Amino acid sequence: MAEITENMIKSKDNLGAPENRIEGFLKVTGKAKYAAEFSVPNVLYGFPVRSTIAAGTMTDIDTAEAEKAEGVVKVFTHKNAMKFNPAPDVESTNKMTMPKSVLNTTAINSFGQYIGFVVAETFEQARYAANLVKATYQETDPKIDFDKYVDTAYKPDNANGAATDTQRGSMEEGMSNASKTLDITYQTPIEVHNPMEPHATIAVFEGDALTVYDATQMLGPSKVAISNTFNIPQEKIRVLAPYIGGGFGSKLRAWDHVMLTIMAAKMLDKPVKTAITRQMMQTNAGLRQLNRQHMRIGTSTDGKLTAMSHEVMTHTAVDEVFVEQAGFITRTMYDTPNQLVTHRVFDTNIQVPTWMRAPGETPGSFALECTMDEMADQLQMDPIAFRIKNEPKTNPLDGKPFSSRSLVQCMQVGADKFGWSKRKQEPRQNTKDNWLVGYGMAAASRAAPYQESSSRVKLSYGDDGLEAVIEMAATDIGTGTYTIIAQTAANCLDIPVDRVAVNIGDSDLPATPGSGGSWGAGSFTSAVDAVCEKAKSALKNKITSDSSALTTADELMKAAKLTEFEMEATEGPSEDSKKYAHFSYGAHFVEVWVDEDLGMVKIPRVLSTSAVGTVLNQKTARSQVVGGIVWGIGQAMTEETTLDKRYGSYVTRTFADYHVPVNLDVGDIEVHFIPEEDEHINRMGVKGIGELGITSVAAAIANAIYNATGKRMRTLPITPAKLVDYEKQPVA
């Protein structure tokens, strides 16, 4: 269990307390409606038709048989679809909002690309008819094979908004002055999103007003993207997403199925619903890129870093560039006087990559933290001591002071609670029957962004006393947003949590940046705290008598002789916060058992420490860390998207082929939060936690496997075959 520490309780028991989710009852009783579950009269059902090649041109498409099928209302292709304005050049600033020219081309850029859209009276009718659509193609050789096209790599404009390349000092000088050096390459595979709720959209026009029920993490940007695509004024568009069954980055942007659904609803003048399949999640909702990471590191005899380079090679789509900033974590983690970080990319006939939980840090930390472990082994130095030796005093990237940095405490507390002192430096020292037992650790870091958000509070009296309603265009992707908003308001207003109602998931409410990038909790709750404080201040101004002794909202409302009151506020980064570097930190400790003969790996125990400023809810925060660790186990041991290099089709198409961890793969997980106060990041002192939990987990597992077996696994996932035939494992 996670420890409740003093810093969790800001001023009242509401903050930090392990409150149950306030929407939990609705979810377990099936009353919480997700995008595909809204009841809309006379709704039709859409189902996309996908290409069966990865590269070439569609020479014709025959819809005659599909149009004759029972229940079919319309089949859309490039021949009869709406004509859209061409999309602008894709930049990091417009990926979420740019228009989408769906079905406006015959060019085929990836396997599974949408080439048609069937609308029918039922979902089953639409899906059946989609199989009757026949396309003919002029094929070209698809660019799939990483090694075949790596020589065409180029320098992109940016890496997910971060600088493509950075350099300080001289790598050559740093390496030549080093007493110990390593030159290693690591590789992480393509991964695909598999949230519990696949993507779904319902589009309803009432005159010129559009309502969209959508599984989206970002209400505002989705509205802008729809507006830009269909030339509909934003004030005529309403996007609703009250409940979301996981997103992990795949639901940050409006994908083609959203625009197909809206187009069909507009052209048919009837509501249309689309729910994409699990197979379409593999081909049409983004992915995490395969990253090949070349690491060079040099140190002095006492373990001080003299140089480190992190050179990333990856792929993107032929029609859109997205590059994951895998090298970013190396720029900021350790004090290195000579450093080089680069990103290079080449075009492929694979769907465009996108954000996935801890983009950049997840694959980048595997390379960085395994490299640190390998060097510690070369130095015969404890891995934690090696990291502490290279702890920076300011952010190495820009020289800014850290708003708070408790990485050393995370490692030290974690080591103590895990029993790290019992670990033996030399591999293969612990055995139990045919099992080799090993222990590994890795440090974790994740940027802690904070963005402007607005909120509205409505105060009124009910049967049990003062009640509050909080309204904002936030989203809850399963992280506990409803609950932490209620706790924040209850804390400031001094009322019980069960007297706070939370209304989110509606783009018509006060604007927020949505959920993603670990900015949600701090951004939302800071706005809620601000509006509640503003409301109390405004109430004080309405009181003619001395109000200095009045502190609660109830006292102020009664003194002002009001039964209802409403206030809005906007809160964003202060000038002070911009002077600091903001990061969350953690450390993961792992015990593994490896079968000497079969290469099977068991992970009976994981212990994690996190320093994330104010913990708003101990229960939901722990859940976020645990979820990240489980995904980290999947990254390390099972998850890999495999493509047929000849045709560009997917070998891994469903959960039968794309393996994620199940209960038997996950042992005991122990989570501890390190007391930390951050006075600079935002008014609540909250830093992101959702993506920190996955960062470096794979490295900790790989390091533990080395401690057990003496085998360095540098290519993920770590399968039994790679461990048994270690000398034959793919070398990146």
- 444 and 470 co-located in one domain: no
Residue range 610-655, pLDDT digits in tens: 999 999 999 999 999 999 999 999 999 999 999 999 999 999 999 9
At 8, is the pLDDT very low, low, confident or very high (cuts 50, 70, 90)? very low
622 within some domain: yes
Contact 78, 105 (CB under 8 A): yes
Least Cα distance to 671 among 608, 627, 585, 587 occurs for 608
pLDDT of residue 92: 74
Instruction: Read off the pLDDT of each residue in 42-60 and give the average, rounded to a whole number.
Output: 98
pLDDT of residue 351: 97
State the number of CA atoms in the 13 A half-sphere of 368 facing the CB. Answer: 31
pLDDT of residue 177: 97
- 551 and 608 co-located in one domain: no
The 10 Å CB-count burial string (b at 16+, else e) for 498-531 is: ebbebbbbbbebbbbbbbbbbbbbbbbbbbbbbb
pLDDT of residue 617: 97
Percentage of the chain modeled with pLDDT above 70: 98
- 548 and 588 co-located in one domain: no
31 within some domain: no
CA distance 500 to 311: 50
Residue range 676-699, pLDDT digits in tens: 999 999 999 999 999 999 999 999
- 715 and 593 co-located in one domain: yes
**pLDDT for residue 10 is more than 60:** no
205 within some domain: no
- 506 and 407 co-located in one domain: no
At 730, is the pLDDT very low, low, confident or very high (cuts 50, 70, 90)? low
pTM for the model = 0.96
DSSP helix/strand/coil, 658: coil
- 466 and 606 co-located in one domain: no
State the number of CA atoms in the 13 A half-sphere of 165 facing the CB. Answer: 11
Instruction: Read off the pLDDT of each residue in 660-674 and give the average, rounded to a whole number.
Output: 97
pLDDT of residue 13: 59
Last residue of a domain, one of 555, 572, 589: 572
At 307, is the pLDDT very low, low, confident or very high (cuts 50, 70, 90)? very high
Structure tokens belonging to residue 62: 């025959």
Residue range 246-284, pLDDT digits in tens: 999 999 999 999 999 999 999 999 999 999 999 999 999
CA distance 43 to 27: 24
Residue range 399-429, pLDDT digits in tens: 999 999 999 999 999 999 999 999 999 999 9
CA distance 657 to 655: 5
496 within some domain: yes
**pLDDT for residue 133 is more than 70:** yes
- 455 and 443 co-located in one domain: no
**pLDDT for residue 18 is more than 50:** yes
CA distance 53 to 437: 46
User: What is the CATH number for 561?
Assistant: 3.30.365.10
422 within some domain: yes
Last residue of a domain, one of 538, 572, 606: 572
Contact 344, 155 (CB under 8 A): yes
Q: ∠ CA 122-254-312 to the nearest 5 degrees?
A: 130
The torsion angles phi and psi of 149, rounded to 5 degrees, stand at: -115, 5
**pLDDT for residue 1 is more than 90:** no
Helix (H) or strand (E) segment spanning residue 295: strand 291-299
Last residue of a domain, one of 523, 556, 572: 572
119 within some domain: no
506 within some domain: yes
Residue range 371-395, pLDDT digits in tens: 999 999 999 999 999 999 999 999 9
The count of other CB atoms within 10 Å of the CB of residue 369 is 30
- 466 and 553 co-located in one domain: yes
Q: How many domains does the chain have?
A: 2
- 457 and 487 co-located in one domain: yes
**pLDDT for residue 325 is more than 80:** yes
Owning domain of residue 467: 451-572
At 11, is the pLDDT very low, low, confident or very high (cuts 50, 70, 90)? very low
* DSSP 8-state class, residue 151: G
Burial label, 619 (beta-carbon count in 10 A; 0-12, 13-18, 19+): middle
Render 91-141 in DSSP notation, one character per residue: -TTTTTTS---TT---EE-STT-EEEEEEESSHHHHHHHHTT-EEEEEE--
The answer to whether the Cα torsion of 363, 478, 418, 708 is positive or negative is: negative
CA distance 698 to 587: 12
Residue range 596-610, pLDDT digits in tens: 999 999 999 999 999
Instruction: Read off the pLDDT of each residue in 651-670 and give the average, rounded to a whole number.
Output: 95
- What are the catalytic residues? 691
- 565 and 690 co-located in one domain: no
Percentage of the chain modeled with pLDDT above 90: 95
- 461 and 426 co-located in one domain: no
* DSSP 8-state class, residue 686: B
- 533 and 562 co-located in one domain: yes
The count of other CB atoms within 10 Å of the CB of residue 78 is 16
**pLDDT for residue 718 is more than 50:** yes
476 within some domain: yes
Residue range 556-592, pLDDT digits in tens: 999 999 999 999 999 999 999 999 999 999 999 999 9
